[in-house]
Chains A and B, each alone.
Chain A
Amino acid sequence: MRLGVSCLLAALFATLPAGAAAQPLPIAAGEEVLVERDGSGHYGRRLVVALRAEPRTFNPAIAADAPSREVIGRMTGDLIHINRSTQLTEAALARGWTRSTDGREYTLTLRKGIRFSDGQPFDADDVVFTFRAMLDERTGAPQRDLLIVGGQPVRVTKVDAHTVRVALAQPYAAAERLFDSIAILPEHLLAGAYARGALAEAWPLTTSAGAIAGLGPYRLKEYTAGQRLVLERNPFYWKADAAKRRLPYMDEIVFLFAGTEDAQIIRFQSGESDILNRASADNFTALARNGSARHRLEDLGPGLEYNFLVFNQNDLSGKGLPQIESRQRWFGDLGFRRAVSRAVDRESIARLVYRGRAVPLWGNVSPGNRRWVNASIARPARSVSEARAILKTSGFSWRPDGALLDQQGQRVAFTIVTSSSNTQRTEMATLVQADLKELGMDVQVVPLEFRALVDRVFQTFDYDASILGLGGGDADPNSEMSVWLSTGSNHLWRLGQKTPATAWEAEVDRLMAQQLVTLDSRERKRLFDRVQELVAEQLPFIFLAAPHILVGARPDLGNFQPSVLDHYTLWNVDRLFIQPDGSQRR
């Protein structure tokens, strides 16, 4: 019967004139659509978005690059979703869920009567297939690591056609956040490729629109290589507005490929594109200065990204880097790092590098992460005299010409490597260089090509210090595990530890592991607050600044509610619409 309805619907759409947008279907009886409580809009029109680069694939299981994810995110749906505005989880394809008392088992109830964008029904088999495919090593899904909890992959089993059970090896705090952005795959289209072990090769850019289906608000219409990619409304989408009209409002989304951020800005400025997902502070300032009625620019305040100066404290034995090893005497000295931290002028970094569109930072959580930031972390003002006093206590001294000498009379001189393609980080390094000169340190700034920089920081350890940035994923502390665990792949100052090198790193390990399995959110906050205190005291990173999220849109774009979580502007694309009278209301 279901198949019959699908064929009928498919035949109905086949008769539409070419170029006409698919109309939203009326909501059928028994179809458990999600009704959005607020915001109404008007149907029609298209939204033009200029991407930085061309996507590489339509395959949600393997997409790792930002442009592919930007496009795929509009064509797919997840079971439980993080609301980018409230930063809390909410029901999506799963109508609801329950957690067992021991926190190891989740039971998810799926919506009934939901269809993929090709009209085929969605049920528990698709969910089980998706998790099997994502966890299969042959697929190479970037999300796979997230789905390994306590060293074991999550186990997803079907209870009935609309219920699935998810079992975890250990209790996992905020486990429901794991489901966000895990795109549910259509088993009827991809089971064949998966069975052949060829899921990773499925859905390349050359795939025809009819061979791709998802549960997102839009589906593929056409793709012209090098020029544009057009998505059209998914007429089966499972969300409706408060008036029970099926979403999304807009007929189409057109993605253009700009190539560079400057080209993105120019297209937005000329009105060729309707949305600017993220602008750097200098480009944003330029746009604001030349502001016209054609744009609405919004500064959303600090995002989750944190920029920092890190000193190389890696174990260099056997690396053949005696000079850096000799300088590690200073880098491993807490007094030295504290002096550097006191001498750095964070306010100037925020003001000069980010044109005031950033906040100075003293800890590892940006104030943009309202729920998790530890507001009691000390924020000592810059003081060169304090910094000099700390150095003196640590046994450093000064030559008559002002040059800083260590306990063995060696001149304190080192290099800061940065990415040459990131102007802001190079500018930060220039300011830090001038700040540390006041302490008598001779600092050189060396901008390197990004891959060369990554190679030095992660592989060869052939560097003294670097200015880098992390964060920007989820707001939850679990997304930071790889940075703070001593065994983590982003534990940048001392990578590849088998056992914690210091007592405080051992304590951070314990706290992070404990918060991971603590289900009480207040207790988790207390544990993570302590991690933040330890990090601020021990300064493995000298935190510098958290840049604001800067976005823009055409002024008549309705329901535009940009957020500090990625995707900043298109996260609620199903509710975006263009005011028919060109007014500038939300």
Chain B
Amino acid sequence: MTRGRARALVVVLAALHLLVLLAGFVAPYDPVDQARALPFAPPVRLHVIDADGRFHPRPFVYALVPDPATADGYMEDRSRRFPVQMMVRGARYSVLPGLESNLHLVGVETPGRLFLLGTDGFGRDLLSRLLHGGRVSVGAGLLATLSALLIGMVLGTVAGFSGGRIDGGVMWAANLFMAVPWLYLLFAARAALPLHIDTRATFLLLVTVLGVVGWARPARLIRGVVLSARERTYVLAARGFGANPLYLLRRHLLPHTFGVALTQAGLLVPQYILAEVTLSFLGLGVGEPTPSWGTMLGSLQQYDVLTSYWWMFAPAVALVVTAVTYHAVTSAVHGRIRLVTT
């Protein structure tokens, strides 16, 4: 992979995360706002030429009204244009805890609606839900990866470096964690918890569960790296010169594990995003009306939605794009690390 291509991939990945991070600003609407007159509205069409054939440099949309010719279709009301405006005031959202704003990147005046990806069955803007849902899904993926890697690195390093009984014990626990049918345990855990858990608690629960469950694989890899590095001649030499274990770890062993950890991170993030989607799809994720990619995809379980409203697949597309980009970046990074270390 060329250096330019790798850089481009990293830029795409960063842009994806930035979009999700700035969801409140980029999304035109509040993700839980219901436009009840417009359920399953298709993505709005952006125009530059109006009904009279006149060209307008600023793109505009028409308001949607029910199409009398179909039972549940829509048509454009071409009597009035709604130009797309930048930096508009709209629904309030929180930028950071304690900091709120109502500034949105794009918007149109009501009764025009800028449903760039259409709406769901409650008339909620799908683009806004996709971006806010990404906060939950990608956020859960990143945090879960971080916790799995932290636990994995600590335990893997300790096991590899100490050897003996500690090594045996940690690896036994890792095997146990990999063998337990977690999905069913999760169902049982959710059933035992009180009914009323707020969104933040559910999110933390998801992250904790994914992180705690996922430490075993990175721990085994890191242990292997530490185990082989431990026997290298320069490590033996350092040890012979009286280096203490902390110095050995910091100077000689841990740097070896960074490559593995980074590659693992690249693989685990999309895997955990997918896990969050699966759990939410099965009803174990954040509850309505808070969006996540998993809960959004849940509506595709209905035959009618699956066959009739193609825009409802948007979260699936977002999921695929994110996963593929992560994998591509991981392989690029992996290649460069090998280049550096050999």
Contact = CB atoms under 8 A, between A and B. Distances in A.
Interface string A127-143: 00000000000000000
Interface in B188-234: 191, 195-198
Most buried by A among B191, B283, B288, B307: B288
Most buried by A among B34, B196, B304: B304
Most buried by B among A290, A352, A413: A352
Nearest to A357: B71
Interface string A434-461: 1000000000111100001000000000
A283 B304 CA distance: 5
B287 A286 contact: no
Given A285-B71, A430-B289, A444 B196 contact: yes
Most buried by A among B70, B122, B307: B122
Contacts of B303: 262, 265-266, 282-283, 286
B284 to A, nearest CB: 11
B342 interface: no
Interface stretch (A183-191, A329-337, A415-423, A499-507): A415-423
B287 A445 contact: yes
Interface residues of B, number: 26
Interface string B37-81: 001000000000000000000000000000000111000000000
Given A356-B71, A429-B288, 18 more contacts: A282-B302, A282-B303, A283-B303, A286-B308, A289-B70, A345-B36, A348-B36, A355-B72, A413-B196, A417-B195, A427-B122, A430-B288, A430-B289, A431-B34, A434-B32, A444-B197, A445-B287, A446-B195
Interface in A248-270: 262, 265-266
Contacts of A417: 195
Contacts of B259: none
Interface of A: 262, 265-266, 282-283, 285-286, 288-290, 345, 348, 351-352, 355-356, 413-415, 417, 420, 423, 426-427, 429-431, 433-434, 444-447, 452, 462-464
A420 B36 CA distance: 23
A345 B70 CA distance: 24
Contacts of B307: 286, 290
B90 interface: no
A356 B72 CA distance: 9
B287 A444 contact: yes
B122 A352 contact: yes
A542 to B, nearest CB: 19
A352 B39 contact: yes
Contacts of A423: 301-302
Contacts of B72: 285, 289, 355-356
B211 to A, nearest CB: 25
26 contacts: A266-B303, A282-B303, A283-B304, A285-B71, A285-B72, A285-B304, A285-B308, A286-B307, A286-B308, A289-B308, A352-B123, A355-B71, A415-B195, A417-B195, A423-B302, A429-B288, A430-B122, A430-B289, A433-B288, A434-B34, A434-B122, A434-B289, A444-B195, A444-B196, A444-B287, A446-B195
A285 B304 CA distance: 8
Contacts of B198: 444
Interface SS of chain B: loop
Given A413-B196, A430-B288, A288 B71 contact: yes
B283 A463 contact: no
A445 B195 CA distance: 9
9 tightest A-B CB contacts, nearest first? A282-B304, A286-B304, A262-B303, A348-B36, A430-B288, A415-B195, A415-B196, A446-B195, A445-B288
Contacts of B302: 282, 423
Given A434-B32, A434-B34, A446 B287 contact: yes
Contacts of A420: 283
B305 interface: yes
A433 B289 contact: yes
B192 to A, nearest CB: 12
A420 B287 CA distance: 12
A445 B197 CA distance: 10
A285 B287 CA distance: 27
Nearest to B191: A452
Contacts of A355: 71-72
A422 B213 CA distance: 31
Contacts of A427: 121-122
